[in-house]
Amino acid sequence: MNDELYISLIGEVFDGYSEGLLEGSPIYVRHINIRDQRYLQKYYEKYKNIALSRGVESQEDREKRVIEDGIWSPEEDQKIESLRFEIENLKKTIKTIFLPSQQQEIRDNLQERLKELGDLLVKKKEIIGQTADDYATSRSNDEILRFSLYKDPNLSERLYSEDQFAELETWQVAQINKIQEEAHQRLSETSLQEAVLRPFFGIYLSLCEQPSEFYGKPIVELSVYQLKTVLFGRMFHNIFQYTEDIPDNIRDNPEKLIAFSETQRNKDSKGGSGGLRDDASASAIFGATKEDMQTLDLGGGANVSLREEAAKHGGKLNMQQMMRLAGEDV
């Protein structure tokens, strides 16, 4: 995206609503806040009880029955929990890994596990089918959606009354949900992180420390997107303040910037650049690629990958070769 689109994105966050077209007319979807989330839970419980009273099984009861019927197994549930545990550990491990290339290996492994988990969950859902929990989720989301729809950008007049909303055709509700989903995708965490790293937002980064003053209203009235924006602004402001030698080519890349910050923190906790002399003419770390060394920016001399250098000498380096790489005259 170019700067104009990022500015528009931040403007949408500041407005607190997204605009869309429904049957040729503009509608305004207010972004939800913490109070809305509280009401969402109330509606969820209300509609779940309605579904249960009509004989629809709960998720828990349905899961027990498919196991009793032999069409799903406890072992498959254990596999799901095992994958979730592994995924959480991989996410934690990425933050402790020193080398970017090794971080990428873990990310690749993480994506494989996420896909495996997703496939298992889809298979399970196909077997279980619709439950009272699903009905409650759908109806409570519809209720919150109705409360979020307005005729005007001042959000002063609701688009539908309760009776009018109940009379909408399924395709109309689907179209409204599509408008909301498109806004949700547009205001994704990645997009918000990229937006706060654009030059135009730089003057606001330090102001993100005080969300209420930044937006001019209490925190409980801030939308989820407004809270995320100041959260990311505060996070990157701290990275710029407390992380040294950030390469210019990653300053506007959220993923690389966060990875670099974690790498520098891990490097500092392990005693700098692997115990090499600061005045060495080459920096070297076991297992590092040249790209790792460039990203880490260790030392002022040539960046050397010991793994690649060892490969040039049959997979091993003797003491003299190691000392030369470290900047010693031998």
pLDDT values of the chain reduced to their tens digit, one per residue, 330 residues: 788 999 999 999 999 999 999 989 999 999 998 888 888 888 899 999 999 999 999 999 999 999 999 999 999 999 999 999 999 999 888 777 767 777 788 889 999 999 999 999 999 999 999 999 999 999 888 888 898 999 999 999 999 998 999 899 988 988 999 999 999 999 999 999 999 999 999 999 999 988 888 999 998 899 999 999 999 999 999 999 999 889 898 999 998 898 888 878 776 665 554 433 444 444 445 555 556 656 555 544 444 555 566 566 666 555 555 555 545 555
Residue 300's Cα: distance from chain center in Å? 35
Altogether, the residues listed in the chain come to a count of: 330
Contact 299, 325 (CB under 8 A): no
* C-beta separation of 192 from 229 below 8 A: yes
Largest CA distance in the chain: 87
Where does 54-156 have alpha helices with state H?
59-68, 74-94, 100-128, 132-148
Angle between helix 59-68 and 132-148 (nearest 10)? 150
Tell me which residue has tokens 């989720």. 137
Q: What pTM did the predictor assign?
A: 0.73
C-alpha angle with apex 290: 289 to 296, nearest 5 degrees? 90
**In this structure, is the dihedral angle defined by the CA atoms of residues 214, 215, 219 and 224, taken in order, positive or negative?**
negative
Query: What are the start-end ranges of the H helices in the chain?
Result: 3-15, 34-53, 59-68, 74-94, 100-128, 132-148, 162-166, 170-186, 189-196, 211-215, 224-242, 254-269, 290-296, 306-312, 319-325
How far apart (Å, rounded) are the C-alpha atoms in residues 72 and 293?
A: 49
